[in-house]
């Protein structure tokens, strides 16, 4: 800012009358500075963003990004749900994970999600797409039964097309048999 002021003064004083132009240069520089400050804006506080980003404590300081997903940890408190081989049943830890996600979604009413059904590499393409769809729908149906509005949930199956872990062993397969949550609105 000081450089602009100094350059303006030198330019003005060199080509025009000194006192009058100094005053004009000072006035012009100050007007530019006030306009620059006046045009900058602070985004007004949006309570919906606060709720979605955990201002109410439901997010525990975790990142919640639009199009963020539970696989990458950018879907707030939503956790990926893992399934047994060739299964879409919600039992044990799988059911507990869905119930925790239901609590998060109920506490963050502005968050909408897409539930992606995924499979490991075993099985044919069509079979895995159908299994992924059953997994996504099982999660959605349980969330609705727990009180999450169905209009906030959509499903899609990727079968074995988008593995999160590469490899042909139980360690990789277990990570790929999942329902991933993607934030579609916050």
Neighbouring CB atoms inside 10 A of 88's CB total 21
181 vs 46: CA distance, rounded Å? 24
Judgement on whether residues 62 and 151 belong to the same structural domain of the protein: yes
Least trusted range by pLDDT, from 21-30, 44-53, 62-71, 92-101 = 44-53
Q: Are 54 and 76 in contact (CB under 8 A)?
A: yes
- CA separation (Å) from 50 to 46, 55, 58, 138, 152? 7, 5, 11, 30, 19
Q: What is the dihedral of CA 65, 66, 67, 68, to 10 degrees?
A: 10
Condensed to tens digits (0 to 9), the pLDDT of residues 126-168 reads 999 999 999 999 999 999 999 999 999 999 999 999 999 999 9
Domain count, the chain: 2
Predicted local confidence at residue 62, as pLDDT = 76
- 67's torsion region: left (phi>0), alpha (psi -120 to 50) or beta? left
Are 176 and 130 in contact by the 8 Å Cβ rule? The answer is no
In terms of residue numbers, what domain contains 32? 2-39
Kindly state whether residues 71 and 7 are assigned to the same domain.
no
Is pLDDT at 19 greater than 80 in this prediction? Answer: no
Distance CA 111, CA 149 (A): 11
Rounded mean pLDDT, 102-117: 97
What CATH number should be reported for the domain holding residue 167?
3.30.1330.60
Please indicate, yes or no, whether residues 81 and 21 belong to a single structural domain of this protein: no
Q: pLDDT tens, 120-131?
A: 999 999 999 999
Same domain, 66 and 29: no
- How much is the average pLDDT of 3-21? 57
**Claim to verify: residue 30 and residue 62 sit in the same structural domain:** no
The model carries a pTM of: 0.68
- Locate 182 and state its tokens: 């993607």
């Amino acid at each position: 800012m000081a450089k602009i002021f100094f350059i303006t003064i030198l330019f003005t004083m060199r080509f025009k009358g000194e006192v009058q132009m100094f005053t004009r240069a000072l006035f012009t520089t100050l007007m530019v500075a006030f306009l620059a400050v006046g045009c900058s804006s602070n985004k007004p506080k949006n309570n919906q963003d606060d709720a979605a980003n955990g201002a109410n404590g439901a997010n525990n300081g975790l990142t919640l990004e639009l199009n963020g997903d539970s696989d990458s940890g950018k879907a707030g408190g939503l956790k990926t749900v893992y399934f047994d081989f060739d299964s879409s049943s919600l039992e044990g830890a799988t059911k507990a994970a869905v119930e925790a996600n239901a609590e998060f979604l109920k506490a963050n009413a502005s968050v909408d999600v897409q539930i992606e059904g995924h499979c490991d590499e075993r099985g044919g393409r069509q079979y895995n797409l159908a299994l992924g769809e059953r997994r996504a729908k099982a999660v959605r149906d349980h969330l609705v039964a727990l009180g999450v509005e169905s209009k906030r949930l959509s499903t899609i199956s990727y079968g074995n097309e988008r593995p999160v872990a590469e490899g042909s062993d139980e360690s990789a397969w277990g990570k790929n048999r999942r329902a991933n949550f993607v934030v579609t609105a916050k």
